[in-house]
Amino acid sequence: MLMQAKLLGVLTGFFLVFASTAHAAHPLVSDDTGTQGVGGYQVEVNTDWLRDAGVKTRTATATLTRGMTETIDLYLDTPYALSQPTGFNDIGLGLKWRLFESDGLSVGLKPELSLSTGNQEKQLSDGRSGGALTVLTQYELGAWTWLFNLGTELHRYSSASSQDEYRRYINKASVGFTYQLDDQWLFVMDSGVQSHASKTEKKDPRFALVGLIYSLSEDAELDVGYKKSLNSTEIDRQWGLGLTYRFK
């Protein structure tokens, strides 16, 4: 157990220094209803390279999840900006609760508290704590798994200028699927839309994503994904790499 803890510390540190931001099971944007089970832990570290209107940026995220019951997980999400201005963004503390499952269909809730830990002067924080709530729906049929997410984010800005410029609520919807190619390879696709943060922008950002997840072992996975804009208000393109490790 001590060796596992040391290894996880090294891996997390490595990816935070050399890597970049995502949530859910990277590279997917849509989250599933799966939980870790009582006493189970999961560490996810990932990096993303983004390009929009010729400007390149990099982000990193490390997420620690612990299974509290068979159907409830608690998680801590720590995003970090590697491009200027560098630093931690607001940290997320959340819960995933699978409240229904029957014949391949499962439904869950994912509430999250966003803590105002980032530097507001560097535009890495809203300035006040916010929150989010997502409804997760999953359906499994053979090698296929379908995902549907519907949610909203609450942003509480401390500056008057940000309150005037940005929306308080950001609504999101996404649908994705995974297909098990063999014992080790999983193919994923995802697509979604969300409210534009700017109050003056009428066109909501839309994206499409493809990726692969490779099982290194029963408890470790490596993933790669490519995300592309479907309209002019979404980030042009994004490449990502991630590593997931589970233990008890």
- Cis peptide before 27, with omega less than 30 degrees from 0? yes
Burial class (CB in 10 A: 0-12, 13-18, 19+), 10: exposed
**Which pLDDT belongs to residue 23?**
54
Q: Which CATH number is associated with domain 2-247? A: 2.40.160.40
* Both structure tokens of 218: 């029963």
Residue 37 burial (C-beta neighbours within 10 Å; 0-12, 13-18, 19+) = middle
Terminal Cα-to-Cα distance of the chain (whole angstroms): 8
The continuous run of DSSP H or E covering 91 comes out as strand 91-102
Give the chain's length: 248
Assess contact for 227 and 207: CB atoms under 8 A: yes
CB environment 88-119: b (16+ within 10 A), e (fewer): bbbbbebebbbeeeeeeebbbbbebebeeebe
Q: Where are the domains of the chain?
A: 2-247
State the DSSP string of 28-76: -SS-------TT-EEEEEEEEEEEETTEEEEEEEEEEEEESSSSEEEEE
Please name every residue paired with 227 in a beta bridge, in sequence order, or none if there are none: 209, 238
Please report the pLDDT score of residue 11 as a whole number: 36
Q: Does the structure show a pLDDT above 60 at 154? A: yes
List the beta bridge partners of residue 171.
152
pTM for this structure? 0.88
Instruction: Find all residues with CB under 8 Å of 51, minimum gap 6, and list them.
Output: 57, 235, 236, 237, 238
DSSP-derived 3-state class of residue 228: strand
pLDDT tens, residue by residue, 168-224: 999 999 999 999 999 999 999 999 999 999 999 999 999 999 999 999 999 999 999
Q: Is the pLDDT of residue 99 over 60?
A: yes
Enclosing H/E stretch for 173: strand 169-180
Average pLDDT over residues 226-233: 98
Nearest to 191 by CA among 152, 220, 143, 225: 225
